[in-house]
């Protein structure tokens, strides 16, 4: 029999997935509690206990971080359109919330450059941040080819890792995930591995960044168990770069995709996590070298 704590975790993970994919919709306490099959009174306390933030604070933070990301990746998008897409009903409400969160108004937000010495963005130790001029040279040399393709609806088994930039949490979760898959009588070599970044580390405080390590289990009879949750990931159109190399090459590819290619394209990011699609898994390569596709779901402007 499934332990109650695991059932709670799976329900809350489902709520988090719903929030992220429906930021413009009704995310009231009552609506989310109903989704989780808890009373509002208990849901609020359970969510806060497992996530570390009250649910309303969590919703507002994700809406604002989504808005901040859209302002960067879609510099021509009107601010009011950004506000509406992220679930704010008025320009004044959005402006107040944005300034409270980031310390500056949305109109003053730098929609071109990286966040630098700001309490909002955080430079990850050891990573070089390329200027727009540097990325222009990268574009001229064209080391990265951005391609487009459709991803079908998928059923994913995943472990959600909190504070994912700290320690070895992602690597350890991956080992547990493929061990669980093996206990189902399945071969991990036959399943596509995804890493999904739920948050932007240049906007979200690092201790709140979440990363989902996922296996595609579409068409298979598997059930959630323990920390393993199951979700349906919607069909989407992705822009991606095939990247082979170390973590710094992966970081360079992400910067090129988000900071150079996307603002100059005819697309904007869809309201889905950034994806790392592993062509070869860490069980083959380890965690020092990568053979992945850096992918972002996109929609036409």
What is the torsional sign of CA 131, 132, 137, 138? positive
SS3 content of the chain, % helix, strand, coil (to 5): 45, 20, 35
Multiple choice CATH, 4-73+76-108, 3.40.50.970, 1.10.10.60, 3.40.50.300, 3.40.30.10: 1.10.10.60
Query: What is the maximum alpha-carbon separation in the chain?
Result: 58
Q: Which stretches of 188-264 are DSSP H helices?
A: 247-255
Q: What is the pTM of this model?
A: 0.75
In the chain, pLDDT over 70 holds for what percent of residues? 87
Q: Give the pLDDT score at 137.
A: 52
CATH number of 146-300: 3.20.80.10
Burial track 136-162 (b if 16+ CB lie within 10 A, e otherwise)? eebeeeeebebeeeebeebbbbbbbbe
Collapsed DSSP state (helix, strand, coil) of residue 164? coil
**Mean pLDDT, range 201-217, rounded to an integer:** 88
Model confidence at 4, in pLDDT bands (50, 70, 90)? low
Give 27-56 pLDDT, tens digit per residue. Answer: 999 999 999 999 888 898 899 988 889 999
Give 261-287 pLDDT, tens digit per residue. Answer: 888 888 888 888 899 999 999 999 999
Axis-axis angle for helices 55-73, 4-21 (nearest 10): 40
User: Helix count (H) and strand count (E) of the chain?
Assistant: 10, 9
What are the boundaries of each domain within the chain?
4-73+76-108, 146-300
Q: Give the pLDDT score at 140.
A: 55
| The pair of three-digit structure tokens given for residue 207, joined into one six-digit string | 């201790």
**Any residues with CB less than 8 A from the CB of 90 and at least 6 apart, and which?**
83
């Amino acid at each position: 029999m499934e332990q109650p704590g695991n059932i709670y975790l799976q329900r809350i993970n489902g709520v988090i997935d719903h929030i992220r994919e429906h930021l413009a919709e009704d995310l009231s306490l009552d609506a989310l509690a109903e989704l989780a099959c808890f009373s509002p009174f208990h849901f609020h306390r359970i969510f806060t206990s497992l996530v570390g933030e009250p649910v309303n604070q969590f919703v507002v933070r994700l809406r604002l971080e989504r808005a901040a990301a859209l302002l960067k990746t879609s510099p021509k998008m009107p601010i009011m359109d950004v506000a509406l897409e992220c679930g704010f009903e008025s320009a004044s409400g959005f402006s107040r919330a944005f300034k409270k969160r980031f310390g500056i108004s949305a109109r003053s937000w730098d929609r071109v450059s990286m966040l630098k010495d700001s309490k909002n963005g955080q430079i990850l130790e050891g990573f070089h941040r390329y200027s727009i001029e540097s990325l222009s040279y990268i574009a001229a040399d064209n080391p990265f080819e951005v391609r487009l393709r459709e991803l079908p609806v998928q059923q994913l088994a995943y472990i959600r890792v909190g504070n994912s930039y700290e320690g070895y949490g992602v690597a350890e979760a991956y080992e547990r995930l493929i061990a669980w898959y093996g206990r189902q009588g399945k071969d991990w070599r036959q399943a596509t591995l995804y890493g999904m970044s739920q948050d932007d580390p240049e906007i979200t405080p690092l201790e709140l960044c979440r990363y989902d390590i996922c296996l595609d289990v579409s068409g298979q009879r598997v059930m959630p168990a323990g920390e393993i949750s199951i979700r349906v990931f919607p069909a989407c159109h992705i822009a991606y770069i095939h990247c082979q190399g170390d973590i710094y090459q992966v970081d360079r590819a992400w910067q090129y995709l988000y900071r150079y290619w996307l603002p100059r394209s005819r697309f904007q990011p869809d309201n889905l996590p950034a994806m790392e699609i592993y062509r070869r898994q860490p069980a083959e390569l380890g965690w020092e070298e990568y053979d992945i596709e850096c992918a972002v779901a996109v929609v036409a402007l």
